[in-house]
Amino acid sequence: MHPAKSVIYFTTASGAGYGLMVWLAVMGAFGFIPADRTFGIVGFGLAFFLIISGLLSSTGHLGRPERAWRALSQWRSSWLSREGVAAILTFGPTGIYALSWVVQGQNGGPVGMIGLAGGGMSLITVYFTSMIYASLKAIPAWSNRWTSLGYLSMALMSGALIMLALQAGFGLGHMAVMIKASVALLALAGVLKLAYWRALQSDPARSTAESATGLGQFGNVHMIESPHGEDNYLLKEMGYKIARKHANKLRRIALVTGFILPMAMVAAIMVLGLPYVVVLSFLALISAGVGLVVERWLFFAEAKHVVTLYYGNRNV
Amino acid sequence: MTSLPQNPSKVKLGLVIDLDICVGCHACAVNCKEWNTSGKMAPLTDMDPYGAKPDGVWFNRVHTYEAVDEAAGTSRTVHFPRSCLHCDDAPCVTVCPTGASYKREEDGIVLINTDICIGCKLCSWACPYGAREYDEDEGVMKKCTLCVDKIYNENLPPESRVPACVSTCPTGARSFGDLGDPNSDVSKLVAARDGYALMPEQGTRPVNRYLPPRPKKVGDEMAPRLLDHHDDSADGAGLLARWVDKVLSA
């Protein structure tokens, strides 16, 4: 599949924003961090910036962005529509929680409950985003259970790394909780990603050139003449091939920069002590950011669509 | 509403494509383009049509495949027109976030309302068959309409009320009719020739059917490899010819 920059930014940025929202809610509601005003402005400002810029970026690949509002109407059948509705509804509790934190200086008690509700809805929104891809049977690399697990774990993981870096920068709140959560989530997301790549390699093909044409009864099918001399929309959008050439190298880059290095850096904080928390947590965040962009690029670029069976692919 | 029809009619209009007859002339694709570029889903935009990399919207694409049976030492060359199959469980319809993509209750034709399509392309990702193409110029998706503006058009003579690809096919490889009615001509054709659906494992339940190439005739009925004709006798020829034959044979 063609890896559109707008969709890579949308899924990584809004995922991290929603993940940060979850951790702001959890840390505040359970009393691990005081409702500091400046921290609130920076934390919620960053979360909302990531979420909103991500959502706006996702409208960037639309042919008719001015009609984007219409996408909210088909929530009964369409995961894309559900995702849009959930994203808008989530602004309710997260907005109230952010205002209570910043304006009233409260983040625990009943306000904390509203924050946790917002955190829960943030996760639901991320799940709906993942289902846009996981519901497409024609793309076996996406329509499996690993897709949603990956999106959820990576949103929580990137959100946790931002939260840790913010806490380190401000010197606020229980650092040990975020350090442990970050290490655990980096390990979990990394293992899920490895399992996803393993499943891609081992899952049997769902469709073949023979089933696509129905000509298997006559032997092995291969195309001898394409309908057109130049690439058409289908081949430009669905026939992306560059990633497969470098797939193994890119997977290693994503795994090391996205998960292993950040995990080592955050774990090093536990050993070296808090004087290093600022440097190490920011380095971990930058490394994970690079890794997640590579991972997301691969998620799109590596995925094969069954329509390519009509254009010379043997099985998908 | 992009949910599939709650009470679909029994009528399922669709195409039956005979792969035994198709010669791969692309006339169906060309006449489709000609009709539809001024039809319901008009225009079928072409980008850079006279340049180095022309690209445009087509509802019909004709591939050519070879099926090789290594063990038997045989192969078949098959021309294969590919277009929308107007699926019963059309995934392109249910993924649409705006309601632009829909399946008609009365005859099962899958259409796009290009006035409310936002061009998110998700329907083209959902379709296993590549039936949907993006119009880069208009920013919306386009697809086969089964010539909905032709098959019901009372201004046309009755014999012309079939999709453009069907009326133009010079070999009669394409048939149009109600595949929901087991007694229709197309349904009988499918039953007689073991017509099949494409990629049933994708769960889309296509309406269109393809008829496989007929088995090759082999063995005694095989045509002779060389014409064996050596008639040396001059019996029955005219007097002059017999004399020439005699002189030359000496």
CATH of the domain at A42: 1.20.1630.10
Question: Which residues span the domain enclosing A292?
Answer: 5-311
| Distant-in-sequence, close-in-space partners of A29: CB < 8 Å, separation ≥ 6 | A107, A108, A112, A113, A115, A116
Q: How many residues does chain A have?
A: 316
Nearest to A230 among B55, B141, B200 (CB): B55
A211 vs B200: CB contact, 8 Å cut-off? yes
Measured distance CA(B149)–CA(A150) in Å, rounded: 46
User: Three-state DSSP class for B64?
Assistant: strand
Token look-up 């996803």 returns A196
> Pick the residue with more confidence: B73 or B223?
B73
Q: Which residue of B has its CA nearest to A84?
A: B97
Residues of chain A above pLDDT 70, percent: 100
pLDDT at B223: 59
pLDDT at A233: 95
Nearest to A22 by CA among A122, A95, A89, A97: A122
Within 8 A of A220 by CB-CB distance, chain B residues are 67-70
- With 90 as the cut, is the pLDDT of residue B202 above it? yes
- Cis, peptide link before residue A204, omega less than 30° from 0: no
Nearest to B212 among A76, A214, A234 (CB): A214
Kindly report which listed range (A161-165, B8-12, B109-113) carries the lowest average pLDDT score.
B8-12
What's the distance, CA A102 to chain centroid? 27
Measured distance CA(B193)–CA(B191) in Å, rounded: 6
Q: Which residue of A has its CA nearest to B114?
A: A64
Question: CA torsion sign, B91 to B96 to B101 to B102?
Answer: positive
Nearest to A1 by CA among A212, A250, A248, A302: A302
DSSP state for residue A8 in the 8-state scheme: H
pLDDT at A188: 98
Measured distance CA(A112)–CA(A29) in Å, rounded: 4
DSSP B64-101: EEEEEETTTTEEEEEEEEE-----TT-HHHHT-SSS-E
User: Three-state DSSP class for A315?
Assistant: strand
Measured distance CA(B59)–CA(B32) in Å, rounded: 7
Residues of chain B above pLDDT 70, percent: 92
Exposed, middle or buried, B87 (CB in 10 Å: 0-12/13-18/19+)? buried
Residue at A238 is within a domain:
yes
ipTM of this complex: 0.93
Number of structural domains in chain A: 1
What mean pLDDT is predicted for residues B110-136? 97
Measured distance CA(A14)–CA(B122) in Å, rounded: 19
pLDDT at B219: 60
Choose, out of A10, A64, A207, the residue to mutate when testing the contact with B (most B CBs < 10 Å).
A64
Q: How many residues does chain B have?
A: 250
Side-chain half-sphere of A144: how many Cα atoms within 13 Å?
21
- With 70 as the cut, is the pLDDT of residue B1 above it? no
What mean pLDDT is predicted for residues A127-144? 97
Residue at A316 is within a domain:
no
Fold classification of B13-214 (topology level): Alpha-Beta Plaits (3.30.70)
Chain-wide mean pLDDT for chain B? 92
pLDDT tens-digit profile of A155-166? 999 999 999 999
Residue at A194 is within a domain:
yes
Chain-wide mean pLDDT for chain A? 95
pLDDT at B222: 58
| Distant-in-sequence, close-in-space partners of B230: CB < 8 Å, separation ≥ 6 | none
Alpha helices in A214-256 (DSSP H): 233-238, 242-255
Residue B231 pLDDT level (bands cut at 50, 70, 90): low
pLDDT tens-digit profile of A190-214? 999 999 999 999 999 999 999 999 9
Nearest to B139 among A64, A234, A311 (CB): A64
A215 vs B120: CB contact, 8 Å cut-off? no
How far apart, in Å, do the first and last CA atoms of chain B sit? 94
Residues of chain B above pLDDT 90, percent: 79
B133 vs A224: CB contact, 8 Å cut-off? no
Nearest to A218 among B76, B80, B94 (CB): B76
- With 60 as the cut, is the pLDDT of residue B220 above it? no
User: Three-state DSSP class for A241?
Assistant: coil
User: Three-state DSSP class for B152?
Assistant: coil
Residue at A37 is within a domain:
yes
DSSP B173-222: -EEEEETTSTTSHHHHHHHHHT-B-S-GGG----S-EEEPPPPPP-GGGS
A126, two tokens: 């991320």
pLDDT at A114: 98
